[in-house]
Copies of this chain bind each other. A is one copy, B any other.
Amino acid sequence: MRSFANEIRDGLDQALAEDPGVLVFGLGVPDPKGVFGTTLDLQEKYGEKRVFDMPTSENAMTGIAIGAALGGFKPVLTHQRLDFALLSMDQLVNNAAKWHFMFGGKRSVPITIRMILGRGWGQGPTHSQNLQSWFAHIPGLKVVMPALASDAKGLLLSSIFDPNPVIFLEHRWLHNAQTEAADTNKPIPLGEANLLREGDAVTVVSVSYMTIEALHAVDVLKEQGISCDLIDLRSISPIDWPKIEKSVKKTGKLLVLDTGFKSFGIAAEIMAHITETCFRDLTLPPARLTAPDYSESTSPALTKDYHIRAEHIAARIGDMTDRDVSIEPILNARGAAHDVPGNWFTGPF
């Protein structure tokens, strides 16, 4: 068994080995913890010029990644929280996203920006933002959100070798997720969603960590005779509309799951688009389960009902299918406190 973090690390390792143009940098990249284990030993292996720590200068380092890309390199920049990358929106949006366009296709900017999405254990308002809808709204950025450990490496490789800037969002609660060692030397094309479960009751569209909760919910409901399509988007820009549309044409019901704030979030676009293209197929209004429109607080007492979990998803599918569902099996399977990914986690980050 290998963890999501191992797979990310191996993806970086493979990219560095394959292509001398790949650079990996970010705060803490060569440190003893190696960004939650994802960059361990890479500096020793590839040297300080290709793998390096950096000053707390998120905006300039993004511009420096762009410049290095223009100089022929393929930089991978890591932010330990998405929240810190808010400092770099100018370089990201005004330069990276637009360079190829605004210079008439003269030069692409092959950079990958890893951002980690925080949650739980008192992360609080500025260490837990999931702003994927910002990036997806910007023409010229690709946005990748892996959920399964088995997808992490393949998606990362595609991101690194994509000629465009790619925002690669890693949910902190996934780093410890396990997978059978998959043959993931092959890149997974960006824009291909993954139909993880098949059924005809409801189309559940999900990203990143929400997919883990959704899998749980969908599997439990299956035992209760309700089977759903579960589509893990993997990338939200480009997004796999055909797969979603095909499923909705079958089920007539759409439930979108997202880790971000509700209003003006990615779920809205998915609901709007599917309503535009599948209006006559829908038997119910499309629904969403997302984070609410307020920040995650620090006190655990204030986060108990903040995040969508498998029981909420199951209950909602029950509502949408007019079926009584039991969430007991989900609650009973729950081992850890609500603010940690598992009992192995004892803080602080």
Q: Is A32 an interface residue (CB 8 A)?
A: no
Q: Is A284 an interface residue (CB 8 A)?
A: yes
**Are B90 and A261 within 8 A (Cβ)?**
no
| Contact segment of A14-22, A136-144, A199-207, A322-330 | A136-144
A125 to B104, CA, bound (A): 11
Q: Is A87 an interface residue (CB 8 A)?
A: yes
Chain B residue at minimum C-beta to C-beta distance from A98: B125
Number of A residues, CB within 8 Å of B? 49
Instruction: Write the nearest CB–CB distance from A113 to chain B, whole angstroms.
Output: 15
**Are B86 and A102 within 8 A (Cβ)?**
no
Instruction: Write the nearest CB–CB distance from A154 to chain B, whole angstroms.
Output: 25
Q: Is A178 an interface residue (CB 8 A)?
A: no
**Are B133 and A295 within 8 A (Cβ)?**
no
Q: Is A286 an interface residue (CB 8 A)?
A: yes
**Are B139 and A94 within 8 A (Cβ)?**
no
Q: Please indicate which of the listed interface residues A261, A269, A272, A275 has the most CB atoms of chain B within 10 Å of its own CB.
A: A272
Q: Is A344 an interface residue (CB 8 A)?
A: no
**Are A102 and B87 within 8 A (Cβ)?**
no
A275 to B274, CA, bound (A): 11
Inside 8 A of A185's CB, which chain B residues have their CB?
none
Chain B residue at minimum C-beta to C-beta distance from A133: B264
Q: Is A195 an interface residue (CB 8 A)?
A: no
Chain B residue at minimum C-beta to C-beta distance from A132: B264
Q: Please indicate which of the listed interface residues A276, A282, A294 has the most CB atoms of chain B within 10 Å of its own CB.
A: A276
Q: Is A83 an interface residue (CB 8 A)?
A: yes
Q: Is A271 an interface residue (CB 8 A)?
A: yes
**Are B279 and A271 within 8 A (Cβ)?**
no
Instruction: Scan A241-283; emit 1 where CB is below 8 A from any B CB, else 0.
Output: 0000000000000000000110111111101110111010010
Inside 8 A of A275's CB, which chain B residues have their CB?
271-272, 275, 285-286
A279 to B136, CA, bound (A): 26
A282 to B277, CA, bound (A): 14
**Are A294 and B101 within 8 A (Cβ)?**
yes
Inside 8 A of A125's CB, which chain B residues have their CB?
98, 101-102
Within 8 A of B (CB), among A309-346: none
Q: Is A57 an interface residue (CB 8 A)?
A: no
Known pairs A139-B295, A271-B271, A272-B271; A102 contacts B89 (CB<8 A): no
Inside 8 A of A263's CB, which chain B residues have their CB?
136-137, 237, 269, 273
Q: Is A293 an interface residue (CB 8 A)?
A: yes
Known pairs A101-B294, A102-B295, A269-B263; A83 contacts B87 (CB<8 A): no
Instruction: Write the nearest CB–CB distance from A54 to chain B, whole angstroms.
Output: 17
Starting from the known contacts A59-B87, A131-B137, A136-B263, 18 additional A-B residue pairs (CB-CB under 8 Å) come to A86-B90, A87-B90, A94-B126, A98-B125, A101-B295, A133-B137, A133-B264, A134-B134, A136-B264, A137-B263, A137-B264, A138-B261, A140-B295, A264-B264, A264-B269, A268-B268, A279-B284, A279-B285
What 9 A-B pairs have minimum CB-CB distances, sorted nearest first? A279-B285, A137-B264, A271-B272, A268-B272, A268-B269, A86-B90, A268-B268, A89-B89, A102-B125
Give 13 A-B contacts (CB < 8 Å), ordered by A residue.
A83-B94, A133-B264, A136-B263, A136-B264, A137-B260, A139-B293, A237-B263, A263-B269, A268-B268, A272-B288, A275-B275, A276-B288, A277-B285
